Amino acid sequence: MADANDNTTGGEQVSFEADPKLEATASNAGPAAINFEAADDLTEGKRSSAQQLKDEASKLGSQAADRAREFAGQGKERATGALDEAAKLFESAALDIDSRLGEEYGRYARSAAQGISSFADSLRGKEVDDLITDATELVKKSPVIAVGAAAAVGFVLARLIKSGVDAASDLGEREPAETNDA
């Protein structure tokens, strides 16, 4: 092992502190050919740390994907339930339309109810991964429709959130007035 703390070159003394885990090997080519290599235990430690980080990242990524699928499954269940309710609403509206406007117009409402119900059934029959694949294919085939649908959904969600916030603020303003009357 070479002396790492004391080197003399050309009459000058050069002193430096080297990492004790580094090993110097000199070949017959002179001082310029000295190779510093990390000791095996240091290299293995770095590799195992890097592998541990990769393993943890992979584990966290798979946990996040599983959780996202779980939330998407719950959302799918809620959406199909809401679609079923909308289909029932259209069915009951069809009866009212039959009596008020005639059976011809009631058929339109029944047809819409059947369409909504069949869409809910098709959603219920697919896995979340299949729905994601279908959505990806739709975006690739018709990006304009996808952007329009995203804008429409965003608008509806913004209105729902705004109405919820407005209702909550109205409720907050009314409560103190009600308590003062009592």
pLDDT higher than 90, residue 141: yes
Confidence of residue 144 (pLDDT cuts 50, 70, 90): very high
* Residues 117 and 172 both lie in one domain: no
The answer as to whether 137 is a domain residue is no
pLDDT higher than 60, residue 21: no
* Residues 111 and 181 both lie in one domain: no
The answer as to whether 51 is a domain residue is yes
Q: What is the Cα–Cα distance from 123 to 116, expressed in whole angstroms? A: 11
Confidence of residue 104 (pLDDT cuts 50, 70, 90): confident
* Residues 57 and 112 both lie in one domain: yes
* DSSP state letter for 31: G
Tokens, residue 3: 């002396």
The answer as to whether 2 is a domain residue is no
Backbone angles phi, psi at 12, to 5 degrees: -95, 145
* Number of domain units in the chain: 3
Confidence of residue 162 (pLDDT cuts 50, 70, 90): confident
* Residues 122 and 82 both lie in one domain: yes
pLDDT for the residue numbered 115: 92
* Residues 14 and 91 both lie in one domain: no
* Residues 34 and 48 both lie in one domain: no
pLDDT higher than 50, residue 4: no
Question: What percentage of the chain carries pLDDT values higher than 70?
Answer: 68
Q: Specify which residues 24 forms β-bridges with.
A: 36
The answer as to whether 111 is a domain residue is yes
Residue 94 buriedness (CB in 10 A; 0-12 / 13-18 / 19+) = buried
* Residues 121 and 159 both lie in one domain: no
* Residues 111 and 173 both lie in one domain: no
State which residues form the domain around 33: 7-38
